[in-house]
Structure 1
Amino acid sequence: MTRRRALGIGGALGLMAATGLSASAALARRPSVTGAELRSAVPLPPPFQLPLPIPAVLKPVSTSGGVDRYEITQREASAEILPGVRTPLWTYEGAFPGPTIESRRGRPVTVTHRNELPVPTVVHLHGGRTLRPPTATRPTWSCPKAGPTPPRTPGTAPRTARTACTIRGPW
């Protein structure tokens, strides 16, 4: 086999592979890249015609001892994001978007998250100017040991035990 023939075969195989991958991506239900725009199954309103949803401000359940304590439940709910269409969502406190927590500089805040979703979740902070404090005062998480896992029905996905976790720290 000549070098020219080997390069020709390699080029043809590469072209076939690229064409096949592109075709399979085009025919797939999921987008080929993360963050790709998906087509809506319902008619969309013209851009910027619906009011911006403003999250409610969550009130602390307690302010004793110089600490503001909040409780947030993660749970399934449905909301009308588009007019006339109910959308199933995973929410904080049953609302979309979730609530806002307003805190005061230097005042400790404790937030207890209760996960009532069918899967474990990760929680992180948004929108705060959180300086990196010394190790002794960094926010700390405490999660109780998970209780017994609910029984699993054969043929269904495994379920995890639901727990409540608390984050403590100065913000």
Structure 2
Amino acid sequence: MPEVKMTVNGKPASGQIEGRTLLVDFLRENLGLTGTHVGCDTSQCGACVVHVEGRAVKACTMFAAEAEGMEVKTIEAMAEPDGTLHPIQAAFQDHHGLQCGFCTPGMVMSAAALLKDNPTPTEAEVRDYLEGNLCRCTGYHNIVKAILAASGQDVSKIAAE
């Protein structure tokens, strides 16, 4: 079996893989980074979103070998080493943008990519960007509110739902 090498969350990572090994499986099974979730295996739900070379990617749509030599960032790298939440994670907590939490890692990673490209999105832009992320619990309202809050926008006039 070939070996794949990449940088994951700022650290060198490698492992023996079959050619058909998906990035999400490599992260979870080879590296033990289980924060990246497998939801649908069809790229519909977005629970597996990670950043590859700074871009949001559904890790169930990419072979691990395609990430050879690349920088991969998972949800595990969002918080500070001392456990302090990233502002997006804190906003999800503060604005009740999660319930069961299954979609949350993918939502947070997608939100980080959005805010990197568009630091002050409108509500419509957030909703449009999250089109590829499914949540079966929250109805999205509080997720959108959390992302707007993480961008530094005033969300005090947005009613809680």
Q: TM-score range by the shorter chain?
A: under 0.3
| Structure with the bigger percentage of helix | 2
- Choose between structure 1 and 2 for higher RCO, CA contacts under 8 A separated by at least 6 residues: 2
| Structure with the bigger percentage of strand | 1
Give the structure-2-normalised TM-score.
0.23
Whichever of the two has the greater Rg, that structure is: 1
Give the structure-1-normalised TM-score.
0.22
